[in-house]
Amino acid sequence: MSDRIRAWIGPLLRWETGLALVVVIIGIVGASVSSQFFTSNNIFNLGLSYGEIAIMTLPMTLIVISGEIDLSVASILGMSSALLGYLWARHWPMLGIFLLVAVVGLAAGAINGLLVTRLGLPSLAVTIGTLAVYRGIATILLGPNTVANFPVTYTNLGVNAFPFTGNDLTYSAAIFIVLAIIFGIVLHATPFGRSVYAMGASVEAAQFAGIRVKRNKTILFMTSGLVCALAGVLLTFRLNTAVQNNGLGLELAVVAIVLLGGVSIFGGKGTVIGVVLGVLAFAGIQNALFLTDFNQEAAGIVTGALLLLSVFGRNAASFSSRLRQWRPARPGRGGGLRARPGQEPGNPAGITPP
Amino acid sequence: MSALVSQSERPPPPAPAGTGARKLTERAFRIRESGIIVVLVVFVAVTASVQPRFLNITNIQFILVNTTVFALLALGETMVVISRNYDLSVGSVLGLSAYLSASLFGGHPGFPIPLAFLAGLGIGLGCGMLNGIMVAAGRVPSLVVTLATLYIFRGIDILIVGGKEVVANSLPSAFLDIPKATVLGIPVIAIVIAVVIGIGAYYLRSFRSGRELYAIGSNPDAARLAGIPIGRRVFVAFTASGAIAGVAGVLWAAQYGTIDSTAGTGYELQVISAVVVGGVAIFGGSGSAVGAALGALLLNTISSALYVLGISPFWNQAIFGFLLLLAITLDRFISVRLTAALRVRGARHE
Amino acid sequence: MRSGPDERFGEDADQMSDSPEGPVLVLRHAAKSFGAVQALVDGSIELNPGEVHALVGENGAGKSTLVKILAGVYQPDAGALLADGREITLHGPAAALAAGIAVIYQEPALFPDLSVAENMFIGRQPLASARRIDRRAMRTEAAAIFARLGVQLDPARIARGLSIADQQVVEIGKAISLEARVIVMDEPTAALSAAEVDRLFDVVRTLRAAGTAVLFISHRLEEVFALCQRVTVMRDGRQVLSRELAGLVPGDLVRAMVGRELAERPPGEQVAPGEPLLTVDRLTREGVFTDISFTVRAGEIVALAGLVGSGRSEVARAIFGIDRYDAGAVTLRGQRLRRGSPTGAMAAGVGFVPEDRRQQGLVMDMSVQQNVALASLGRLRHGGIIRASAERAMAADWASRLKIKYGRLKDPVSMLSGGNQQKVVLAKWLGRKPAVLIVDEPTRGIDVATKAEVHHLLVQLARDGVGVLMISSELPEVLRISDRILVMREGRLMTELAHADASEEEILSAATGQAPPPQAGEAPANGARD
């Protein structure tokens, strides 16, 4: 029994512990800087401001662990928001709109997945392209227009508290918690989740073990599409506005949080708990700055600094663990002319998820 | 046990092994580079036939001037991408440099224009060096580093700008005239930038350190084993990219005149798109600065063509994204065919 | 340290250049540790000019650490490196190159996007005025070097797509252009066809005639005896033997490597083969293999022999579903296997131990436990969740059955030696109790003792009723344990030999399309078997 506990605790004893410490420190500093920090009102506002971003980090976590990346998340969010507004302005029934938005989200993810798995294109380049295409579709749908007359029952989903929990939890925060549990279980305890790690660590070995890499990666992208579409709907209701630039630029925040949460950009490593902590850290810092009247737009500096700290810190951690376990270096591991780009940890060249 | 006779008894092959391979590769490269030009020509032709005013001298000048900033950024980004890195901070560096250099004029009327350029260069140089040190010294992927500095530089820009903006009125007319000067109808700026890009391309092609950038991107492990000073080269590439973005910022200020804290937002992805469309492999190792500049020209031309054709500018982004996808699909297709064909040729000539 | 360009190519290759100048490179009592593991305890070697020196030893004996020290990748914790009698320290690969030491690794590291000539001269390209690169001079120099080596290769051609053999030639050319006086070759023949090995040996003899010292690391003792003049044997991080090869036989080397006599394992009693399990019927993939038909029956070990490039691995991968095929059928116990579906093959009872252990057989970053369980997660599952205790029990069980040496089950599998890693791959598949097990080069890169264990395991498997299809390029291995031998050549099945009729000559003849040598008392066969 204690072995099982150790099995669960062991992997946590690295990045995530340090990050949890950071979150605690942020909490302490935040509370000391502003008396409002831990009020239920503030926590509620945090849920409002960061709920959608938080939700988007979950499928992104699995995608990055599997060795890919999805930069089109914010554009899928924007596209679904635009679609919502477009259809609503044409008097579609809301339930029908939800259905169509979900289908479009799945389709957008499927396109990403197919381009990456069937055509063998690098996900970085593909999702830079689809980032533009999906945002473009959003722009085509709405043009310069704004749709803002959503019914109260739905906008309440954006701004009200989740029932039965007092006034702390927004719908988006509640959805985030539920999704985090689901994604966590899937990633850490199911064969599918194990396959995500295997694909990220070594695609070939995963194939040779009978893992259906193409199918699984496509599923991951489609999940991301669906979840981001959901986030788009939530955002639209919260702002009571559908406009083509909803969510513009959010993909970088999502990636930043995922990396901050300890997920390795090279794939094969990371946990959902880490990313949840990352969300808390990110939101906490931004909020502390907000409460001290720091220029909100410049809070990006903090995001950037956190990101740098997370990768430099990770390198320091892995350096010490490398000293503990000797790993013989392998010459020509890059594969010579069997170009297998992107899988060269430890060289200062850029990351390229295959 | 290995005393085999058959192969060495065959008559030697008529040509040195691999000439076929060389010709094949050259043909592939030519297709790729000329492909951009072909698309460009087709686009221009189609648009001009529908809307003759597309070929107005003013419009052409407009396109060329517009392209200069992106072509410059594409040059810097090419150097980085060739070495299998990415510089996502170029948009933020441009914005920072544009504001700071332009605001020099506001404070001191009669401020010498070359100094403004120098200031922009310096700002960009500093930002680039920061990127370069972090990427080269720490073993951190450049995607992540420049993602972070994209935020950080932009944030610094926002703090400095603080809701203000530089307006065109505050800038000397000589400065604002820079993009307008023409020689025989061709904007001077375009000529200068074309020369700069030519120099850059020549450097990458014909100088040892330039070739080493390609080597680093083509096979980083081999580069290390070959004793190539990876850290130094990558550092220089990022420094150059930053410096170029700094200069581009000053040019941008001269073109637009009004600069606030949003200058340059989103440029990084556009530049990477231009570079990839222009034939630089997303994983590095191949491609040219000229191709990248042509990519920037192509994207700008398309954007202008759409406008002239009356197609809503809202289609721009979707079309650019589609072109990017098309470019990488094409590249992948060519490279897969090429590798297979080369392998066959190599084996046959053994 | 670098000599002038006074290479004396073309001299009689057999001329022994026992140079009076003494050794070119000496490593004396080098030691190297990584954390708690001492990879090298007492590494010593002397390389003389004009001599091919073999370095042999089991995996984990310290060979590669020694090579890395010579290459400047590692700096020894103790001991001395002397070049021409003077002590030197190599701070990195660049320093080694500058000192005239070039290393050619098993998988050459070239730049696929650069030309062959540029690969050779990167960082040192000949310059024209104003420090511009002189491309023509570069190509001419490269062509000259290739001519001296006696190989045909276009210097202007891009490096992408070159065969491994050609890549090695480029690396050797690069070493020559660097005026290397020591060339280290790390398992150069592992991926070469026999013809390519011959060409490589000719090149090495040319190097030798020019006075270069060559360090030749190999597991293939027959090659060592064919090519080298001296040998150093390493065991457990130490040098245990270093002398001229003349007067030695392979058994001596084996004994030195393992420290004991390894009796030739008899192939074991033949068990009468059972029902046909795997039937391959006219399997074809355009340009790769054609009309492959054979059967593997329960209880037998069928070997698929042939030269590298004959298509054996491709056939195996097509059977398992990793690759597709264009025509033909694969049936297991009468049930047709869907093409291109590894999951289908696995479900039907096929296991596949791939050729490349590190990239295909194992997920190196995952633990021993996770690797063993990777193909069995469905069975270890309860209500959708993987049961950790079941996973651990499975891993521990197989580890003890196969006698895998590891620290903890949770250790990353990269920490294990090559032989133990291969056992983990086997455990992964045996845990599924396959009806048919396909193994591709089961003992490549494994030390002699573990090799024997793996052979014993395969024989045992067959006795238990599993049908084993074994692809191997090591003829002694094929002859030792297989019941039937199928020989492939250039994508076609040439012949089938029963164990009793087979010999190395028979197999090799079929593999190369030669007329088989006449048996004693027989008239020579008519023409080549085609």
pLDDT in tens, C245-299: 999 887 788 777 765 444 444 555 556 778 899 999 999 998 789 999 999 999 9
Distance from the Cα of residue A83 to its chain's centroid: 22
Q: Is C105's CB within 8 Å of A201's CB? A: no
Residue C351 in this model has a pLDDT that exceeds 90? yes
CB B318 within 8 A of CB A136: yes
Which residues make Cβ contacts (< 8 Å) with residue C41, sequence separation at least 6? C31, C62, C236, C237, C238
Number of Cβ atoms within 10 Å of the Cβ of C358? 18
By CA distance, what is C124's nearest residue in B? B208
Enter the tokens of residue C467. Answer: 């049908």
Contacts of B349 in chain C (CB under 8 A): 152
Q: pLDDT at residue A1 above 60?
A: no
For range A225-241, the mean pLDDT = 94
- Residue-averaged pLDDT of chain C: 84
Going by pLDDT thresholds of 50, 70 and 90, the confidence category of residue A246 is confident
Domain ranges of chain B: 28-339
pLDDT at C322: 92
Residue B277: closest CA among B303, B297, B304: B297
Distance from CA of A3 to the nearest CA of B (A): 35
Which structural domains are found in chain A, ordered by start? 10-323 (1.10.3470)
Q: Count H helices and E strands in chain A, helices first.
A: 14, 0
* A contacts of B222 (beta carbons < 8 Å): 332, 334, 336
**CA end-to-end distance (rounded Å), chain C:** 53
List of chain C residues whose C-beta atoms are within 8 Å of the C-beta of residue A198: 363, 366, 374
Residue A247 token pair:
């969510």
Nearest Cα of chain B lies from the Cα of A263 at a distance, in angstroms, of 12
Predicted confidence at residue A344, as pLDDT, reads 34
CA torsion, points C102, C105, C108, C110, in degrees to nearest 10?
A: -40
Helices and strands in chain C, H and E counts: 16, 22
Q: Does the beta-carbon distance from C112 to A202 stay under 8 Å?
A: no
Torsion of Cα atoms, B206 then B212 then B217 then B218, to 10°: 80
| Residue with the larger pLDDT of the pair A10 and B40 | B40
> Which 3 state secondary structure label does DSSP give C439?
strand
* Structural domains for chain C: 25-108+179-258 (3.40.50.300), 111-161 (no CATH), 263-349+434-530 (3.40.50.300), 357-432 (no CATH)
Contact at CB, A329 and C364, closer than 8 angstroms: no
Residue from the list C114, C122, C154 with its beta carbon closest to the beta carbon of B21: C154
Quote the pTM value: 0.80
CB B338 within 8 A of CB B25: yes
Q: What is the widest separation between alpha-carbon atoms in chain C?
A: 78
Model pLDDT, residue A266:
87
- Which is it for the CA torsion C35, C39, C42, C47, positive or negative? negative
A349 in contact with B at a CB cutoff of 8 Å? yes
Instruction: Choose among B16, B22, B10, B3: nearest CA to B349.
Output: B16
Q: Considering only B162-166, C268-272, C415-419, C502-506, which range has the smallest mean pLDDT?
A: C268-272
3-state secondary structure labels for all residues of C156-177: CCECCCCCHHHHHHHHHHHHHH
Q: Are C239 and C232 within 8 A, CB to CB?
A: yes
User: Are B87 and B241 contacting, i.e. CB atoms less than 8 angstroms apart?
Assistant: yes
Q: Given C94, C133, C160, which is nearest B211 (Cβ)?
A: C133
**Contacts of residue A323 in chain C, CB cutoff 8 Å?**
35
ipTM for the whole complex: 0.82
Cα distance between residue C158 and residue C151, in whole Å: 17
Q: Which is it for strands C467-471 and C436-440: parallel, antiparallel or unpaired?
A: parallel
The rounded distance, in Å, linking the Cα atoms of A91 and A100 is 14
Q: Which of C111, C153, C162 sits opposite B219 (nearest CB)?
A: C111
Q: What is the pLDDT of residue A71?
A: 92
| Chain B residue at shortest CA distance from C513 | B6
pLDDT exceeds 50 at position A326: no
Q: Decide if C152 and B285 are in contact by the 8 Å CB cutoff.
A: no
Q: Do A349 and B147 touch (CB under 8 A)?
A: no
**DSSP tag of C179:** T
Counting Cα atoms < 13 Å in the Cβ hemisphere of C28 gives 12
Identify the three-state secondary structure at position C237. Answer: coil
Q: Are B76 and B193 in contact (CB under 8 A)?
A: no
Tell me the fold of B28-339: ABC transporter involved in vitamin B12 uptake, BtuC (1.10.3470)
Nearest chain A Cα distance for residue B221, angstroms: 6
Alpha-carbon distance C283 to C337, whole Å?
12
pLDDT of residue A231: 95
Per-position pLDDT tens, chain B of length 350: 333 333 333 343 334 445 667 777 777 777 777 778 888 888 888 888 888 888 888 888 888 988 999 999 999 999 999 999 999 999 999 999 999 998 888 767 778 889 999 999 999 999 999 999 999 987 788 988 998 899 899 999 988 988 788 788 788 888 888 888 888 888 889 999 999 999 999 999 999 999 999 999 999 988 987 878 999 999 999 999 999 999 999 999 999 888 888 888 888 888 988 999 898 988 889 899 999 999 999 988 888 888 888 887 778 888 888 888 988 888 888 778 777 777 765 544 33
Residues with Cβ < 8 Å from A8, sequence gap 6 or more? Answer: none
- All partners of chain B with 3 or more CB pairs under 8 angstroms: A, C
Alpha carbon distances (Å) from C184 to A109, A127, A238: 50, 44, 67
Q: What is the separation of C-alpha A77 from the centre of its chain, rounded to a whole number of angstroms?
A: 12
Closest partner residue to C113 (CB to CB) among B16, B214, B228 is B214
* pLDDT reading at C428 higher than 80: yes
B313, with CB counted inside 10 A (0-12, 13-18, 19+), is: exposed
Residue C170, phi then psi, degrees to nearest 5: -65, -40
Answer yes or no: do B1 and C508 touch at CB < 8 A.
Answer: yes
